[in-house]
Amino acid sequence: MSYTVDEYRREVSDKKILVVGMGRSGMAAVKELHALGSTVTAQDINTVEKIDPKFITFLDREGIEYYFGSTPEHMGSFDIVVLSPGVNPNLSFLNDGRNHGVEVIGELEMAYRLSYGKFVAITGTNGKTTTTSLVGKIFEESGRKYTVVGNIGVATISKVQDSTDDEWMITEASSFQLETVSRFKPVVSAILNFTPDHLNRHGSMEAYGACKAAIGKNQTSDDYMVINYDDKACLALGDNTKARLVPFSRIEELEFGAYIDDGYIVIRDESGIVHQICSKDELKIIGNHNLENALAAAAISFFAGIDTAVIADALKKFPGVEHRIEYCGIVDGVKFYNDSKGTNVDASIIALKALERDIVLIAGGDGKAQDFTELGENLLGRVKALVLLGRDAKDIEKAARAAGFSNIYHENDMNDCVKRAHKLSESGDKVLLSPACASWDMYDNYEQRGDHFKNCVNQLLR
């Protein structure tokens, strides 16, 4: 059934809605749905002592029912369940709700239904945050009304109340968010790459890929999907969308799409006209992976209707994003880099290749059931020493030793890792935090981990 935003807002105002998971997205969903007049109930696996006390005060003041450390007994009493991205949609009480005819959707899906804005949505195993931030920068330079939301740290639903039909929602979309979409339909979507990640949640590459491909399942021939031509597994994810595929390639000249020509980022449009954007040497962000991110961002923006001169200007100004091969300072001639957002094997390999050689690598954490074989193989010739911490450090050590790398050290916390890495390095070397793992075994999120690393580096600078 098709709804206008106004019609859906009126419908939702008369619904009983359970919001599951009180992270950033869940708390925002409770507040926004309550403001729209919905009868909202909050739920989280954590007990009340572990929930933000300010949020508890809000719930009590507004008379909002909540189940913290428990689940509602009668799931059939709800009309809709809205899930935060971190919540597994196959939990038994959610299936009980489905059996009672309750619609179970994610926060991104609900935000889409309530928003007047047009969506640009960007997914992929790696590079999402950089590309989303870069597209946001391009839209800023263009003077368009826009907001950057999603997995980048701003709950999409938190921005729907004030959205307008001339606003662009530049959205970083994770597989967890796309797992629970049904009507979500961006004007421009992008799939940047596709390598193993989150297999402990999705179970297989096929299931993980299906989540990524969902970004384009409702797009029509009037829409565009920007997709990585060089990554054939990624390219295959565009097989089932009706959107016009816009490939980008760092390696090959294309008949249509974004590519490199004589050192310049160019876009060949649907009429075959080639538009030169800027020299790749003018980019401030380093590494081939960031060149791919720049190609994708240029294509997304171009097919959203932004002028090439604006795209070029923004590309040349963009400094990169926090926690992604972020330069943190130099101590005794040793440069320190924070790549805490490198939460999987492929991301860490990308960082190693960007810094090339003479690296002391700090890695480890929640391995998410990954195979670290390829990481071990990529240490050789690049990494001088490997400093490990976290729950799955031994799995990384095993892969490193199998590849013939043996200069390995274990530490209990980040401060000791930074001190050890400093002692192992000499002038001209680089110390890189790129964990190849999630942070959840030791930190709330990768930002907290990266900030701790930077604080430890700052202690050395004093």
Residue ranges at the known binding site for ATP = 124-130
Instruction: Tell me how far CA of residue 161 lies from CA of 81, 115, 157, 167, 329, in angstroms.
Output: 20, 7, 8, 12, 41
Contact present, 45 and 16 (Cβ < 8 Å): no
One-letter amino acid of 75? M
* Phi/psi at 214 (5° precision): -60, -15
- Other CB atoms closer than 10 Å to residue 161's CB: what's the count? 13
Strands (E), 364-447: 383-388, 408-410, 430-433
Apex 448 CA angle, 442 and 451, nearest 5: 120
CA distances in angstroms from 373 to 37, 68, 102, 360, 376, listed in the order given: 52, 40, 43, 19, 5
Closest CA to 316 of 347, 277, 356, 353: 277
Helix (H) or strand (E) holding 200: helix 199-202
Binding site per annotation, positions: 124-130
What amino acid is encoded at 432 in this protein?
L
Comparing CA positions, the residue from 55, 53, 57, 11 lying closest to residue 33 is 11
Question: In angstroms, rounded to a whole number, what is the distance separating the alpha carbons of residues 63 and 264?
Answer: 58
Residue 248 phi/psi, 5-degree rounding, is -130, 145
CA distance 214 to 177: 10
The answer to whether the CB of 43 falls within 8 A of the CB of 64 is: no
Q: Which residues does 161 contact at the CB level (< 8 Å), separation at least 6?
A: 32, 35
- Note whether 343 and 439 are within 8 A (CB): yes
Structural tokens at position 393: 């450090």
Are the C-beta atoms of 30 and 83 separated by less than 8 Å?
no
Q: What token pair was written down for 412?
A: 């209990």
Tokens of 267: 């876009």
